[in-house]
Structure 1
Amino acid sequence: MPRWEAIRELDPASMTAERMRTECIDSEQPAVFRGVAADWPAVSGPRAWSDWDRLGRLHGHNMVSVEQGEVFYAADALAGVRVPFGLYLIYMHEAAKPEVLAQMHSQLPKMYLGQVDLFADVPEMRHDVKLPDFACEPPAGRGASHAVCNAWFGRPGQVSPIHHDPQHNLLVHVRGYKLCLLYKPSVAMPRTVPAEAGSSAQRNISDIVDPRNDDDPAAATLSAQVVAKAVVLGPGDGLYMPRKWWHFCAAVDGPTMEEAASPGRTEPAMGINFWWPHPR
């Protein structure tokens, strides 16, 4: 088992905007909110997104943006394409089959609906999610909240390499399980492109695609030197990630750390995240 430290958990039922500011945003410390979205229509009930057939029947004709390539997140390293949403849902569902997953390593293209404004393409699905109340109120005197919402729908085993974002991030999981590993901003991550060069899409990305891969010398060195903060999110769970914290995310097959230590093989993952700028 890797050396991971559990991220602190806060009760979403007792959270207020003031506590969110003082205990998370101002202190810039991550936190897990179990069940924060358990009552979202996207998570449970007749509109749950786990119902593939319903999503495809109602919204399959809508065109959505996906990335195609080996590694997600380096925006200028992947080709973006537009595909019918229903086709992508079939792709996610079929990718959960072992024989299809094996083919994907050699023949089939890899796609990811990641960091996508899904609701611009499928506006009806926006009614299935809601920014938690404790994250809605902006700091006093700072004006209205301007949270940006993105979707992350990935095949089994889909990963986002270690990277950081310039904004505060609340990730809410909807379907499947997702491992999130966090590292403090002060950790010196190996990078393909130096921080002072390249595009903004490249400067915040580490060389390390998967820190669980001990065959990667850089990943093995990182694991030996730094204890990551870790959580496995299930449906309805949320994770606050402060701005500039390095983080790695991966679809995994179950809720335990033992299951999360290995690449996922059977469970697609769906999530929504909200970004908002740091108050000035």
Structure 2
Amino acid sequence: MSREVASVRVLEGSSPGVPPLQTLLRDAVPTVVRGLVRDWPLVQCGLQSPHAAMEHLRGHYNGRPVQYSWGDPSTRGRPFYDAGFTRLNCEVRRGSLDKVLEELASHLDDPHPPTYYVASLLVDQCLPGLRTAGNDLDLSAQGVQAPPSIWIGNRVTASCHYDAPNNIACCAVGRRRFTLFPPEQIANLYPGPLEPTPGGQAISVVDFAAPDLERYPRFAQAMQAAQSVVLEPGDMIFIPSMWWHHVEGLDPFTVLVNYWWSSMPGWIPTPMHALYHALWTIRDRPDSEKQAWREVFDHYVFGPAERAGEHLPAPARGALGEIDEQYARQLRAMLIDRLNR
């Protein structure tokens, strides 16, 4: 991307392999730690050559089939949509990781290769020895349970999207450019369909390599709020919950390892369920009703958590009080019953 944008914050002074988790969560802004995982064996192999990194991955692969995206050279490494935004431009395939690595190796010198992208593969499922070989952040020592995922491909672009969990991403092999936007830029990023999506979340339909500002004029405003950084192998980036991020692989072979975790306990489901329900039940009502429901949601949901029930005795608060695991089960059963009527 040629335009000038602000740089992502870089934090100094972290011990190798130990992300400053409390600082990251307290500040809740995108943050880079240079060289945090440079000592990982996978990173060191990648610095030798793509082939050495591939061999390191093969050495820990258990043979289980993996799912990956494949697109012909016309996709230009960008899993996206057809012209009508109803179909994806890549195929979802299943096969062995060995075969994917072999195909990637055969196209290392190809200026216009097919797209290969193994996305969000749980490390422990298919590469069970990778972590014990020294390629891991011990987040559990800081109270976070976040099983790592691995992303393997060539010069692939993950179009701009957000994730509900917090995210620590470690650039292991090859360079990656991250461009990030705060959550309030959602309208200026022109999100595409909620379904289907190339990776599970709605993506910006703007081509960052050649933005069409006549069709998407507010994208210029989004870029004014953007932050960008190129990660080298061994660098780490923290992406707070709900921040939009556009990720470009810059080398013929790239590997990233990331850790997602929620700020909420497991019995609290994703707010995406509430979004679909609100689209169904609120969006098309008259404006006066929508404004009234906005006030209701501000009172019960978006204001201080304790406000709506603070004037009631604790036993009378129900959903207005603390929602523990047992009460979460009751709410789920109630919603299922009412939706099925």
Report TM bin, short chain: 0.7 to 0.9
**Partner residue of 2:30?**
30
Q: Does 1:272 align with 2:264?
A: no
CA contact under 8 A between 1:17 and 1:137: conserved in structure 2? no
CA contact under 8 A between 1:116 and 1:152: conserved in structure 2? yes
1:147 aligned partner, one-letter code: A
Cα distance in 1 for partners of 2:169, 2:31 equals 11
> How much does 1:42 deviate?
1.4
Q: Does 1:212 align with 2:182?
A: no
Unaligned runs of 5+ in 2: 82-86, 266-341
What per-residue deviation string (whole Å, max 9, x for no partner) do you get for residues 210-269 of structure 1? 42323575567524552320111111100000010000000114xxxxxxxxxxxxx321
1:8-157 pair list within 5 angstroms? 8-11=9-12, 13=14, 20-21=21-22, 23-44=23-44, 50=50, 51-52=52-53, 54-55=55-56, 58=59, 62=63, 63-69=65-71, 70=75, 71-72=78-79, 77=88, 79-98=91-110, 101-102=111-112, 104=113, 108=114, 110-128=115-133, 129-132=135-138, 136-138=141-143, 145-155=144-154, 157=155
CA contact under 8 A between 1:49 and 1:175: conserved in structure 2? no
TM-score, structure 1 as length reference: 0.74
**Partner residue of 1:186?**
184
Percent of residue pairs bearing the same amino acid type: 20
Question: For 1:171, what is the secondary structure of its paired residue?
Answer: strand
Cα distance in 2 for partners of 1:199, 1:80 equals 13
Cα distance in 2 for partners of 1:271, 1:202 equals 18
| Number of aligned positions between the proteins | 246
> How much does 1:48 deviate?
7.6
Judging changes above 3 Å, is the alpha-carbon distance between structure 1 residues 72 and 249 closer, same or farther for their aligned structure 2 residues? same
What per-residue deviation string (whole Å, max 9, x for no partner) do you get for residues 135-157 of structure 1? 7413xxxxxx22131111111x2
Q: Which has the higher strand share?
A: 1
TM-score, structure 2 as length reference: 0.62
Question: For 1:239, what is the secondary structure of its paired residue?
Answer: strand
Cα distance in 2 for partners of 1:115, 1:159 equals 14
Unaligned runs of 5+ in 1: 139-144, 254-266
CA contact under 8 A between 1:185 and 1:244: conserved in structure 2? yes
Instruction: Find the structure with the greater CA-based Rg.
Output: 2
1:272 aligned partner, one-letter code: V
Judging changes above 3 Å, is the alpha-carbon distance between structure 1 residues 86 and 220 closer, same or farther for their aligned structure 2 residues? farther
> How much does 1:53 deviate?
6.0
Question: For 2:159, what is the secondary structure of its paired residue?
Answer: strand
> How much does 1:170 deviate?
0.4
CA contact under 8 A between 1:190 and 1:218: conserved in structure 2? no
Q: Which has the higher helix share?
A: 2
CA contact under 8 A between 2:162 and 2:245: conserved in structure 1? yes
RMSD: 3.4
